[in-house]
Structure 1
Amino acid sequence: MSIADHQTVRVLSGRFVLERAADAKDAADILAAVNGPDGGAVMRRVDEAEDPADAWAALWNGDAAHPPDATGMLAAIVAPLAVGAVPVWVAASFDGDIVLVPAARLDEVTRLLAEAGHRVEG
């Protein structure tokens, strides 16, 4: 068994939206930014999303930091979500990963992760 098999994942406070980097409105609210060939994207905190269907919840698996070369950490989180047909958007940090999931499906996400052997807090 590897450390990836039984992770603790914390639900971060707030709700988030995904935006193209060029459309980001307030840098202070940005949780993560990715600069890609397409101009990039940001995860931005917006607790009062205009359309609740656009709101995402953020999961964090880095409270028990894992080394950057640990294998399977992100896969162990997103695989059970893929089986449940839950869309995700991810960004890696030095100590862990941020996984955005549709906020309306957070109860389902918690159940899927628990069934896969993970613990969800928050």
Structure 2
Amino acid sequence: MRSPPFFFDPIGYLLGLDIVVPILAQVAPLARRAASDPRRTLAAMPSLRVLPDRFTLEHQPGATFPEDDEWVALVRAPEGLTVLRHASPFAGPDAERWAGFYGDPHGLDVPGVLASVVGPLAGASIPVFVASTFHADLVLVHEHRLELAADVLRDAGHTVAA
């Protein structure tokens, strides 16, 4: 089953910030504090499911929109366009494939939801790419790190379904 495409243009674009790379460094310390806070609620610990699809990421310098409509998510920034696509099952062994965790829907007023996911992954040195929607977050990890990432998230208190 393919997930529907979505488009978002981050606030970082308006501020001229490259938010894709440095977000992990900013979120990890906050996530560690939140994880150690006994007042945190289950609302900040979404149940996660591993999506059956695999994804690829590409950077298109200077582009504002892809030439095709075969994308899942777009992030436009001053340095170009980041395009998230479904991975081809025919891609060669050198293709960088990403696996996705998708969380339960949550309100935008619930703090710490994304931090509860990316914090433990950062603590385990697992790189992520995040695409957030109005309702939930898609957290991607390199496909070869999927099992380790699922174990890390379970150890952090998340329910992870395949």
Fold shared by both chains (TM-score > 0.5): yes
Change (3 A) 1:25 1:99: farther
2:78 maps to 1:43: no
Rg comparison, structure with higher value: 2
Q: Which residue does 1:59 correspond to in 2? A: 101
Calculate percent identity across the aligned residue pairs: 38
Q: Distance in 2 between matches of 1:72 and 1:33?
A: 24
Q: Which residue does 2:48 correspond to in 1? A: 9
Higher mean C-alpha displacement, 37-46 vs 80-89: 37-46
RMSD of aligned residue pairs (Cα, Å): 1.9
CA contact (8 A) 1:19 1:42 kept: yes
2:120 maps to 1:80: yes
TM-score normalised by structure 2 residue count? 0.66
Unaligned runs of 5+ in 2: 1-39
**Deviating runs (4+, > 6 A) in structure 1?**
none
Q: Deviations over 1:30-85 (max 9, x none)?
A: 22111111112011111433345611001111xx3111122111110000000110
Q: Which amino acid aligns with 2:102?
A: W
Unaligned runs of 5+ in 1: none
Match of 2:148 among 86, 105, 108: 108
- How many residue pairs align between the two structures? 118
Q: Which residue does 1:32 correspond to in 2? A: 73
Q: Which amino acid aligns with 1:66?
A: H
Q: Which residue does 1:117 correspond to in 2? A: 157
CA contact (8 A) 1:53 1:104 kept: no
